[in-house]
Each structure stands twice: as structure tokens, then as C-alpha cells.
Chains A and B, each alone.
Chain A
Amino acid sequence: NAGVTQTPKFQVLKTGQSMTLQCAQDMNHNSMYWYRQDPGMGLRLIYYSASEGTTDKGEVPNGYNVSRLNKREFSLRLESAAPSQTSVYFCASNRGTGPDTQYFGPGTRLTVL
């Protein structure tokens, strides 16, 4: 019962470095999501993929790119990290049909120096 898995759990980057956060789900879900969680701001949607082969911007997409590699995997890339991207990143997935529960991964804590 892996559910949604994320790697890495922790990462420290220097300003300008790039990295990719990986996410995979084993629930055969159609839709996948990337959120960031900042103190006092709840979770904000960065990008989502409603189905394999599609991606769409969420509330805060600037500075990020995503790839829906296949139905299971959805990666988030920071091309040139900035201190403002220091955050905890969560991946989530669901069936994508109507008001459906989202299932979250354990998160990646990213610090950009």
C-alpha cells in the first residue's frame, strides 16, 4: 500500500541550481497535483495534470515546470531555484472525477540558500 510516494524527502539547493522532484502513485489515478505549503498560507496549487498527457497551471506556476511522464508519475522541475521557492512540496492524486478525495504524499522539504 505505497499510495503516493515522493523523492527526495529533504533537499538543500543554492540559488540558481536546478532540481526535479519526483512523484509516483500506484492507485491508477487519472489526476495528479503539485502543491506548495508555506507558513500561514495553507496549500497552493502549482500545477496539475488532469489526465496522462495533459498539464495545466495552478495558482502559483511561475518558476516551475512539470512533466506527466506516464499515468503513475508526475515530476516538478525547478530550473533556477530562488530563495522564494523554499517551501514544503506535496504531490497528490485522485481519480479526477467530480468532488473526489485527493491522496497526498509525505512531502519534500526544500531549502534554497
Chain B
Amino acid sequence: GDSVTQMEGPVTLSEEAFLTINCTYTATGYPSLFWYVQYPGEGLQLLLKATKADDKGSNKGFEATYRKETTSFHLEKGSVQVSDSAVYFCALQTGANNLFFGTGTRLTVIP
């Protein structure tokens, strides 16, 4: 079945460090891929998405490229800030209503 495997956390970085959170997927069709972010005490909100192979999603300095050949959608940011501390979820969607989430990666950025 469809699934998402996400890098285990937690991840702790110093401010201005480079961030990579790995995400790979298994899907029978041609999924759309998402990164959602959950700030402390809040619900999830969309960070970025890509709907077809080779698309790059970007938002707030974060980027991820839909790689069909490696079935991956790794999240990157060149210089993290303390305000980026949150839990990040990779997700895939194969139909109108089927959204599958990874287990989440907690990021803590220290000044």
C-alpha cells in the first residue's frame, strides 16, 4: 500500500545551520507530495507541495524536489532560524481524500 518513510528525529541544529529532513515514499500511482509543519500547540499547516515529478515546492526558505527515480521528497533549508522549531510531516496523496503521513520529525533550533 501507499506509505511514507520519514527521517527519525529529533533533530537539533544551531541557528543558521543547513537542514535536511529525508522523506521517501511508496505509491502505486502518481502521488502528490506535501510537507506539513506543526508548531507547538497548533494544528498542522501546509509548508509546501509538489504535484508531479521534478516539481520543486518552496516556501519560507524551505524547498523540496519531487524525485520519481529515487521516490524521494527531501526537505531542505539553507539557514534555519529558532522560529523554525516545529514538527515536520511528509505526506503523500493519491486520490482526492487519501492523505498518508509520515511519523514526523521534530526540529529544535538553538540560538
Q: Which residues of A contact B (CB under 8 A)?
A: 4, 31, 33, 40-45, 48, 50, 56, 90, 92, 96-107
Within 8 A of A (CB), among B7-63: 31-32, 34, 41-46, 49, 51
Q: Which residues of B contact A (CB under 8 A)?
A: 4, 6, 31-32, 34, 41-46, 49, 51, 89, 93, 96-99, 101-104
Question: What CA separation (Å) do A6 and B56 show in the bound complex?
Answer: 33
Q: Smallest CB-CB separation from A9: which chain B residue?
A: B41
Q: Which residue of A4, A44, A96 contacts B96 across the interface (Cβ within 8 Å)?
A: A96
Q: Is there contact, CB below 8 Å, between A43 and B49?
A: no
Question: What CA separation (Å) do A42 and B4 show in the bound complex?
Answer: 10
User: Which residues in A have their C-beta under 8 angstroms from that of B51?
Assistant: 99
Q: Which residue of A40, A50, A105 contacts B43 across the interface (Cβ within 8 Å)?
A: A105
Question: What CA separation (Å) do A68 and B46 show in the bound complex?
Answer: 24
Q: Is there contact, CB below 8 Å, between A107 and B43?
A: yes
A4-B43, A101-B49, A106-B42 are contacts. A42–B96 as well, Cβ < 8 Å? no
In the assembled complex, the CB of A97 is this many whole angstroms from the nearest CB of chain B, namely: 6
Question: What CA separation (Å) do A107 and B41 show in the bound complex?
Answer: 8
A99-B49, A101-B46, A106-B43 are contacts. A40–B103 as well, Cβ < 8 Å? yes
User: Which residues in B have their C-beta under 8 angstroms from that of A101?
Assistant: 34, 46, 49
Q: Smallest CB-CB separation from B8: which chain A residue?
A: A40
Question: What CA separation (Å) do A41 and B6 show in the bound complex?
Answer: 11
Could you list 17 A-B pairs, sorted by A, with CB under 8 Å?
Answer: A31-B97, A33-B99, A41-B103, A48-B97, A50-B96, A56-B97, A92-B43, A96-B97, A99-B31, A100-B96, A101-B34, A101-B46, A102-B44, A102-B99, A104-B44, A105-B43, A106-B42
Q: Is there contact, CB below 8 Å, between A104 and B45?
A: yes
Q: Which residue of A33, A40, A44, A105 contacts B97 across the interface (Cβ within 8 Å)?
A: A33
User: Which residues in B have their C-beta under 8 angstroms from that of A43?
Assistant: 44, 89, 101
User: Which residues in B have their C-beta under 8 angstroms from that of A92?
Assistant: 43-44
In the assembled complex, the CB of B64 is this many whole angstroms from the nearest CB of chain A, namely: 15
Most buried by A among B4, B51, B103: B103
